[in-house]
């Protein structure tokens, strides 16, 4: 979807890019949706900011990290590298 701008599930809809995905935080705050890699209370809030591509027809959604290299290198003890 990111490259093709076509939906791989239905191949019908328009693809929309969502750059900032809001997520409700504590005390009525709104944060960016993140992929967290730590279970610790304070550091669990640190994570990679996500963006998304959404199909207007079927709703299929793909999420992408905006900063994958930085997040994975900073949390190398939490992830497994396949290649």
Contact characters 10-39, Zn ion, x per CB under 5 A: x--x--------------------------
Question: Which of 9, 14, 35, 68 touches Zn ion by CB under 5 A?
Answer: 9
- For Zn ion, which is the closer residue by CB, 58 or 79? 58
Question: And the tokens for 5?
Answer: 């701008």
Subset of 43-62 contacting Zn ion (CB under 5 A):
55, 57-58, 60
The Cα-based distances of 82 to 8, 29, 36, 63, 65 in angstroms read 24, 37, 19, 20, 18
Kind and range of the H or E run holding 32: strand 30-32
Residue 73 binds to Zn ion (criterion: CB under 5 A): no
Q: Measured from the CB of residue 22, what is the shortest distance to Zn ion in angstroms?
A: 23
How many whole angstroms separate alpha carbon 64 and alpha carbon 50?
A: 5
């Amino acid at each position: 979807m990111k490259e093709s701008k076509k939906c791989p599930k239905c191949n019908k809809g328009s693809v929309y890019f969502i750059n900032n995905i809001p997520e409700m935080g504590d005390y009525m705050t709104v944060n960016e949706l993140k992929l967290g890699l730590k279970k610790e209370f304070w550091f669990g809030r640190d994570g990679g900011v996500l963006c998304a591509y959404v199909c207007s027809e079927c709703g299929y959604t793909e999420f992408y990290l905006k900063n994958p290299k930085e997040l994975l290198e900073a949390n190398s003890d939490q992830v497994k590298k396949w290649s």
